[in-house]
Structure 1
Amino acid sequence: MSPSRPFFESPSGELDTGQILYEAVPLAKLVAAVGAVALVPWLLGWLVLELVVLTPGIGVVFTLATQFVLAVGTGLVLMYVVVRANQLADG
């Protein structure tokens, strides 16, 4: 007997949209939180460059900070997905 597949209703073989939404909402919230945190250094860099008109070297620092936040956030999202997939596979 084949194991049950996540997100499929067993008798009909159709997608379980309720379960998909149940799993997608926390993931979307995590992605939105990472995006919101990444906006902070990006907006600070934009304010420094456009409004204060300081040296462009400072813009590079804020760009690197934004990229770092996005890289770490991507890692967190991927870890969440892997852990949740393992939980679904076990249970």
Structure 2
Amino acid sequence: MSTSRPFFLQSSGELDTDRILYEAIPLAKLVAAVGLVALVPVFLRVLLSDLLGVASALGLLLTLATQFVLAVGTGIILMYVVVRAIQIAED
């Protein structure tokens, strides 16, 4: 294991903002993708309840679908962060 710290320049000890952005952009894209997928059942619920007046059982199912997508997406994001942190620590 190396003694250098990730995200810091070895020469000056300052933050390596290029490396931080390099790691943050894919993570932000993953979070945005999960958020967009979670919005699909929300929009369907709003569409069905406002336009068609159907809100009871189908609305509950769409709410549960939204929660499920958010829970699974959060797990995927956390796994990505852990795997990436292990890869960075090994370098």
Could you tell me how far 1:34 is from its partner in structure 2?
Answer: 0.3
- How large is the RMSD of aligned CA atoms in angstroms? 1.1
> Which TM-score applies when normalising by structure 1?
0.94
Q: In the alignment, what sits opposite 1:76?
A: 76
How many residue pairs match? The answer is 90
Relative distance call for 1:57 and 1:11 in structure 2 (3 A) is same
In the alignment, the residues of structure 2 paired with residue 55 and residue 23 of structure 1 have an alpha-carbon distance, to the nearest angstrom, of: 42
> Which TM-score applies when normalising by structure 2?
0.94
Deviations 1:3-61 (A, max 9, x none): 11110001211000000000000000000000010011111111111111014221111
* Gapped regions of structure 2 (runs ≥ 5): none
- SS of residue paired to 1:9: coil
Q: How does 1:62-73 map to 2 (within 5 A)?
A: 62-73=62-73
Larger RCO (CA under 8 A, 6+ residues apart) = 2
* Gapped regions of structure 1 (runs ≥ 5): none
Structure 1 residue ranges (4+ consecutive) displaced by more than 2 angstroms after TM superposition: none
